[in-house]
Amino acid sequence: MHRRHFLKSLASLPLAYAVTNPLHAFAQTAPFPATGGYRSLFPSLPAAQFAPDDLLRLANGAGPDLPGMSAAPEMLTDANDQPLRNEKGEVILSATPETKADDEENYGIPAGFTYLGQFVDHDITFKADDAFADKGQAGVNHRSARFDLDSLYGAGPGLQPFLYNADGRTLARGRALTQGGRPSGSFDHPRIDGVAVIGDKRNDENVLVSQMHGAFASFHNALAQDRPRASFDELRQTVTWHYQWMLLTDFLPRLCGDRIMHSLLPALADGRGPNCGRSHRRLTADLRPGEMPLEFSDAAYRYGHSAIRSVYRLNTQMTGTVDEQRRNPAAAGRKFIFAAVDQAGLNGNRAFPDEWAIDWGLFFETRGTMTPDQIAMGAQKVQPSYKIDTSLVNPLAFLPDFSQSGTPKATTAEGFAKPKAGAIANLALRNLMRGQASGLASGQDVARAMGIEPLSDEDLMVGKATVAGLTTNRSITDYGDSFRGQAPLWFYVLAEAQYTWCSRARALAGDDLAKNTLPGHLGPVGARLVAETFVALMELDPDSVLHAPRHWQPTYGQGPRFGMVDLIRTAGLG
């Protein structure tokens, strides 16, 4: 095979296919399994079964009086509230103006953490068989179930040298990206015929996770420059420990709350590092190295799908065309997460325009704390993620990998992408079906097994965590009798986070803006499943930061503190 075509085919496959036994070069202990199985944390609980029509109704809704988890699109409308259309007769998608409050935003979690979460997911889980056949708890994880950045490093320079520069220490980068024609410090991936040459093709699924992967590559290369005598193995260990420290002290506290992190890692409550003292795990006490909890992978950690915004600003130099500024100023210069029209969305698996470099200060708090006061800053503000609730933005009902593209027949009359024949393009429906195929127990049964009083059917609401939703959202039982007393675990995790936010909003004295801008995070079931899985995977990995010497602390950042902002700054990106 010609080397070019060989590299292209290799770059398109996950690492597990390219190399049977991934190299963990800095491991000094007994071999750790490269792949492992998925298992339930609650094997004695019965699998929840739901009527297919009920799942379909929950995902898509049944008309304006019963909206589903897939939110209606924001569109330009006329004075009679009828959708405006372009020259092709397609509706014109829009968004809340940047200078106005968006009631779906979560002022506790900046938007960049959504795609950090996706990057992390690709580091620890991969199911090659994406079919929804009834397989119970079978399946192989083609990731190591370790936070070892194998999606970034591949099998290392010895086995996958094409991921690296000639020095064997630094990661290869592609063409330089710009902001308004000016250098940004960001790079695209190396590509062959548009295909990214990286350790995991999923890190090119959209422009945001693609550049997140690039930020970690830049962080590694910055450390290599700071430490010219360090070997690749030493660099990888240093990068990995900083990454894991950041997950435990920045990412998880935002997502799950300080209380649960302090209960799991008491040293954090005392101001010490996570590598000081053992954890207090309960749910994962029987988990073995290499195993991945199904309740985490197929339910709780899919919380991030509800945190995705429909539209993002990559940088302030992108202002849109004159026609966009005139017709649709709220969306001009911003891009939808997915779109049927090329360059209108942040679709991945392609070389995107040079001027699409991310200004990370719009995604993380590199230039100041994200607060509602920043709304007045418009395009300059830190973009919040969306609240964790039982609503997914409209573009996620038309996933590019499962939708048609390329011809006028590939879109509906409204301009939305059509699903491929036999494919399921709606992400909410895919998640609901995946949970049932995995044999997951209901959210209520899992809550009881965890010693947590489950929410009532009346408290499991479908819709957005907003002031308006407090009175308009409908109970899950309105979507089908098979949901009575039992809810899909993924839905339950989202509804629990939403219930927690709604309870706080109802109790708050203040106007709608004060309530809508209340921060939110996962509820007790979701937070425990996510946080304890993270801690368990690190504790079961003898090479993780939890097993680092007690005197070890991050070299970068401020004293013992190292967060995502520190990583971005060290990488030279903010």
Structure confidence by residue, pLDDT tens digits, 107-150:
999 999 999 999 999 999 988 765 554 444 457 888 899 999 99
pLDDT digits (tens, 9 = 90+) for 61-103: 998 899 999 998 898 988 888 888 888 788 888 999 999 999 9
Total structural domains in the chain?
1
pLDDT at 131: 55
Cα dist from 174 to 13, 187, 193, 412, 573, whole Å: 19, 6, 13, 36, 16
For residue 176, which phi and psi values (nearest 5 degrees)?
Answer: -70, 140
pLDDT reading at 494 higher than 80: yes
Q: Which residues are registered as beta bridge partners of 347?
A: 206
Q: What is the CA radius of gyration of the chain?
A: 23
What distance in Å separates the CA atoms of residue 85 and residue 71, rounded to the nearest whole number? 20
Query: DSSP class of residue 403?
Result: B
Is residue 332 within 8 Å of residue 531, measured between CB atoms?
no
> Which pTM value belongs to this model?
0.92
What is the three-class DSSP state of 190?
coil
Q: Which two tokens stand for residue 26?
A: 């800095």
What pLDDT is recorded for position 17?
31
- Distance (Å, whole) CA 503 – CA 408: 46
Burial zone of 228 (CB within 10 Å; 0-12 exposed, 13-18 middle, 19+ buried): exposed
Residue partners of 281: CB distance under 8 A and separation at least 6: 264, 532, 535, 536, 539
Helix (H, G, I), strand (E, B) or coil at 115: helix
**Dist CA 308 CA 319 (whole Å):** 22
pLDDT in tens, 10-29: 443 333 333 323 323 323 23
What are 187-226's pLDDT values in tens digits?
999 999 999 999 999 999 999 999 999 999 999 999 999 9
Structural contact between residues 435 and 135, judged by C-beta atoms closer than 8 angstroms: no
Which stretches does DSSP call E strand in 211-329?
292-293, 311-312
Res 23: pLDDT? 28
Task: Return the pLDDT at 404.
Answer: 81
pLDDT of 367-415, one tens digit each?
999 999 999 999 999 999 999 999 999 999 989 888 887 666 667 766 7
Token duo for residue 104: 């779906």
Q: Does residue 341 contact residue 362 with C-beta atoms inside 8 Å? A: no
The predicted-structure confidence for 315-345, as pLDDT tens digits, reads as follows: 999 999 998 899 999 999 999 999 876 668 9
Q: How far apart are CA 42 and CA 433, in angstroms?
A: 19
473 has a pLDDT exceeding 60: yes
Residue where the block lists tokens 């699903």: 419
**Tell me, what CATH number does 305's domain have?**
1.10.640
Task: Report the alpha-carbon distance of residue 107 to residue 564 in Å, rounded.
Answer: 17
What is the structure's pLDDT at 22? 30
In this prediction, residue 85 carries a pLDDT of 86
pLDDT range class, residue 256, cuts 50, 70, 90:
very high
Domain range enclosing 255: 3-570
What sign does the CA torsion over 505, 260, 387, 295 have? negative
Q: Mention every residue, 6+ apart, whose C-beta is less than 8 A from residue 44.
A: none
Q: How much is the pLDDT for 13?
A: 38
